[in-house]
Amino acid sequence: MPLPQILVGKVAAITGGLTGIGRAIALEYLRHGAKVAVNHLGGPKEEPLIEAMRKDVSEIIRSNSHSDSEQSSRFILVAGDVTQPETGRDFVSKAVEAFGRLDVFVSNAGVCKFEEFLEVDPPLLGHTINTNLSGAFWATQAAARQMALAQSPPGGSIIGISSISALVGGGQQTHYTPTKAGVLSLMQSCAVALGKYGIRCNALLPGTIRTQLNDEDMSDPVKRSYMEGRIPLGRLGQPPDLAGPAVFLASEELSGYVVSIIIPLLFYVCGKGVLMWMDRLERRYWWMGVLL
């Protein structure tokens, strides 16, 4: 049965949307009736992923009682490296060229290589920062310029995919967690800066989600069991677990007055000290409408 078409008439653009969380969000937006532009890195290794994505898009469009020929009018792929500032501008430009405007932007592209703090070298740190934080900044700015200054009426929803590790840290993620804390802070500041244009900015903070980024680690039974034991639901998250919250934040009907909110997903139990710290965090940010 087709899902309620609560995003009909909306145009969404998602960076890093060919795999993992971004892919799940892109497909769910399509199921709910949105037109979707997906950014991906590019290169011959991605051809199987592109083929699989187009197949799933076709199935969604058919299930919504549309013809396959409508795929080109509802979905596009745009290659580009988000570490380059011009990539965000080009991506937004192509989305608007194809669909006329931009209503929802999801800054999702990211990398995460686990490494001991004492072993992190400049290339690894630089690449992680340039992808996860600088890339998010430039792409978000491009989307915001379109939403604020180049369409009528102005406005839209910007969603930053941060991480629960932005709040609690990670022993082998000392180069990664600061970038995700930066994404969280970016969304909070953008919410203040862009509210006057009718642009809502929020962040999703997933816990451990099984994606291609952690397949190697999660294939280790000991590591997997350890992580599952820290999650109240007793299982790792899957990319579709992020899709529902992303639909919620994309919909004006459901979240039209939701701004600068932090939504942790699948938060794991880390002990009394961290839970007390989270309680202080809740009180500190209560005035901003933080949901914990």
Three-class SS of residue 254?
A: helix
pLDDT at 216 over 70: no
Q: Which of 10, 29, 107, 162 is catalytic?
A: 162
pLDDT (0 to 100) of residue 171: 85
Q: Is 162 one of the annotated active-site residues of the chain?
A: yes
Domain boundaries, the chain: 11-288
pTM of the full structure: 0.87
pLDDT at 243 over 80: yes
pLDDT at 265 over 70: no
- How many Å apart are CA 39 and CA 80, to the nearest integer? 7
Q: Which of 10, 29, 163, 176 is catalytic?
A: 176
Residues 6+ apart with CB under 8 A from 98: 35, 37, 76
Q: Could you tell me if 217 and 114 are in contact, meaning their C-beta atoms sit under 8 angstroms apart?
A: yes
Class level of CATH domain 11-288: alpha beta
More confident residue, 64 or 86: 86
Q: Span 255-276, mean pLDDT?
A: 61
**Residue written as tokens 């816990």?**
207
pLDDT (0 to 100) of residue 227: 66
More confident residue, 173 or 95: 95
Q: Is 180 one of the annotated active-site residues of the chain?
A: yes
pLDDT, tens digit, 9 for 90 and up, residues 78-129: 999 999 999 999 999 999 999 999 999 999 999 988 899 999 999 999 999 9
Q: Span 22-30, mean pLDDT?
A: 97
pLDDT at 282 over 50: no
Q: Span 134-154, mean pLDDT?
A: 98
